[in-house]
Amino acid sequence: MKTKILSLLVAAMIIFNVSYANNTDIIVNENILASFSKQFENASDVQWTKTAVYAKASFTWNDQYLTAFYDEDGIPIAIARNITRKDLPVILQTTLANEYSAYWISDLFEYTTKDNNKYYLTIESADKKIMLESVNNNYWEVFKKTIKA
């Protein structure tokens, strides 16, 4: 009886530790928090995730949903946001309309770093899914193509 109770207690502790390790309330260091607070003063609904390389904040700011990436020193790496077709540069809009009119848009986001601004677009048809990447904000290049099963 004692071994069953002890086994159940150990199992409960393991489950608690695994659950706690996967908790989305990640604690990030002070450098990252200070940088984030300075950059996005009135952010709300902030959710942090962390990897060995970066910390990611997903949040609402100025009525838009953003994702910001920071290195361990709190230096901003990039900011991503979902956008609509009309938010694209006009040349990308026209290329999309002329070359990919048979597809619908399933995902579109802007990815901004201090040195660069790119757009990623996922378009689909009944049998294909294509992810496009903007090049110099002038044209689209196929980033990934898959055939639907």
Residue 94: give its domain's CATH number: 3.10.450
Given a contact cutoff of 8 angstroms between Cβ atoms, the answer to whether 32 and 48 are in contact is: no
56 lies in the same domain as 29: yes
104 lies in the same domain as 60: no
pLDDT in the model for residue 135: 95
Residues 29 and 57: their CA atoms lie apart, in Å, by 13
Q: Could you tell me if residue 17 is inside a domain?
A: no
Residues 67 and 61: their CA atoms lie apart, in Å, by 10
Per residue in 43-74, pLDDT tens?
999 999 998 899 999 999 999 999 999 999 99
Domain boundaries, position 101: 85-147
91 lies in the same domain as 141: yes
Q: Could you tell me if residue 55 is inside a domain?
A: yes
Among the three residues 80, 101, 121, which one is the final residue of a domain in this structure? 80
Number of domains in the chain: 2
73 lies in the same domain as 92: no
Assign 149 a pLDDT band (cuts: 50, 70, 90): confident
Q: What predicted TM-score, i.e. pTM, was given to this entire model? A: 0.73
For the cut 50, the answer to whether the pLDDT of residue 147 exceeds it is yes
Given a contact cutoff of 8 angstroms between Cβ atoms, the answer to whether 77 and 54 are in contact is: yes
90 lies in the same domain as 74: no
SS3 for 104? strand
66 lies in the same domain as 89: no
pLDDT in the model for residue 25: 52
Given a contact cutoff of 8 angstroms between Cβ atoms, the answer to whether 99 and 82 are in contact is: no
Q: Could you tell me if residue 9 is inside a domain?
A: no
68 lies in the same domain as 90: no
- As a whole number, mean pLDDT of residues 6-13 equals 33
Q: Which residue has the higher pLDDT, 13 or 27?
A: 27
Assign 13 a pLDDT band (cuts: 50, 70, 90): very low
* Closest by Cα among 60, 68, 63, 61 to 33: 68
75 lies in the same domain as 94: no
pLDDT in the model for residue 11: 32
* Closest by Cα among 67, 30, 31, 74 to 49: 67
71 lies in the same domain as 96: no
Per residue in 72-127, pLDDT tens?
999 999 999 999 999 999 999 999 999 999 999 999 999 999 999 999 999 999 99
Residues 141 and 3: their CA atoms lie apart, in Å, by 62
Residues 48 and 27: their CA atoms lie apart, in Å, by 8
